[in-house]
Amino acid sequence: MTGCDDSFDIIVAGAGPVGLSFAASLAKSDLKVAMVEPQALERLANPPFDGREIALTYASIRVLRELGAWDAIPACHKSPVQGARVLNGSSPFALCFDPPRGSAEPLGFLVPNWQIRDSLFKIIRLHDHVQLLCGHSVVGVTNSHKGAVVKLSDGRRLTARLLVAADSRLSRTRDLLGIAADVNRLGSSILICRVRHERAHHQVAIEWFDHHQTIAMLPLMEGVSSLLLTLRASEANRLLALDDDLFLMELTDRCRGRLGKMTLASTRHTYPLVTTWAHKFWASNAALIGDAAVGMHPVTAHGFNIGLCSQKQLARRILTARRDRRDIADPDMLQRYENCLRLSAAPLYYATNLLVGLYSGEHAAARLARHVGLRLAQYFPFVRHGISAMLRR
């Protein structure tokens, strides 16, 4: 990585997985890129286990493979998903999603978030055109026809032709750019941990919409699953505070023994549920990618995949403009980026919100609608096959 400088072609605010993948997409060009990240360099270089397992579609795997990140992730951390089941309350009926008949390929793969971050960081640090500015955050942005002037928390000022916000669904950079967003704090949290269990999962994921909770059982290595409980924030915090024995007793009860006897295989983590939809995905000399643009509810597991798609779309347009000696912050180019991302993300975003509303309702009409909806989907193969195809595209 290069030494200190104040002038760049592109400044990326946020070194999460999407920000890192965006920088990696540009790393082989001659563009000078700065990444501004509040976390210390040591934490970026050695990301800790955070509980999150990312469900990757084949499109996302192709992107990571092109960047060199997929092959850098050890095979033991790539868990195939051979099928998925959706359950509702105490009903024994399950909506099933499976690979096409005769296909030997799984629906997708589960990979730990920290492993994706680690593999992308290792790519970034190999390239001299990317400079990491860790331990700092963006506190001011000024745009002009010449580009963006970015003020950091230590008082330093950087200039760039293009500023890219990749700093979470509660993006400070987005706010500084004056871009409004629908930010929905849902009042719920996800509690995540890995468990060892006596019953086999057969590499089948389960999404169970039960009363006042949603449980996801994600198959990892043999005899181990990642359990995600979506609960009111206060209830999630209560469970987090229990000792291991009491926590396992309550977890087993909530899962109704579906996995048999369980023991903890990791630390526990909680994350508040927040969804975001930015009103615009670009401004003068600036663009949004990842959760700063679209922050999905995790129930359909597509948030990271949309984020990875967004960075690829923007990076491809920037590299094309650079090759053709055009402005990398051209407003028409940024508008085309927004149009493409909005077209691909909007259906999933609004359909997911509709699904969450239906499956979080506890009144009798909602319960009946869930029951009827699952059975209708099961008896209309094009629905199940369409969703399976979307996962595998």
**Cβ contacts of residue 141 below 8 Å, gap of 6+?**
148, 149, 150, 151, 163, 173, 176, 177, 286
Residue 14 has pLDDT above 50, yes or no: yes
Question: Mean pLDDT throughout 182-203?
Answer: 95
Q: Are 239 and 231 in contact (CB under 8 A)?
A: yes
pLDDT digits (tens, 9 = 90+) for 117-165: 999 999 999 888 899 999 999 999 998 878 999 999 999 999 999 999 9
State pLDDT tens for residues 307-351: 999 999 999 999 999 999 999 999 999 999 999 999 999 988 888
- What is the band of 212 on the pLDDT scale with cuts at 50, 70, 90? confident
Q: What domains can you pick out in the chain, each with its CATH number? A: 7-50+113-183+274-356 (3.50.50.60)
Ramachandran quadrant class, 117 (left: phi over 0; alpha: psi -120 to 50; beta: rest): alpha
Type and span of the H or E element at 151: strand 147-152
Determine the angle formed by the axes of helices 303-323 and 58-67, rounding to 10 degrees: 50
Q: Which residue has the higher pLDDT, 372 or 26?
A: 26
Separate counts of helices (H) and strands (E) for the chain = 11, 20
* Nearest to 381, CA basis, from 13, 84, 98: 98
Q: Report residue 242 as tokens.
A: 């229990």
Task: Please give the model's pTM, rounded to 2 decimal places.
Answer: 0.89
pLDDT (tens digit per residue) in 228-273: 999 999 999 999 999 999 999 999 999 988 899 999 999 999 999 9
| pLDDT of the residue at 389 | 45
Q: How confident is the model at residue 208 (pLDDT cuts 50, 70, 90)?
A: confident
Question: Phi-psi region for residue 277, left (φ > 0), alpha (ψ -120 to 50) or beta?
Answer: beta
pLDDT confidence of residue 387: 46
Closest CA to 348 of 94, 57, 50: 57
Residue 80, strand partner residues = 109
- 321's tokens: 């403009």
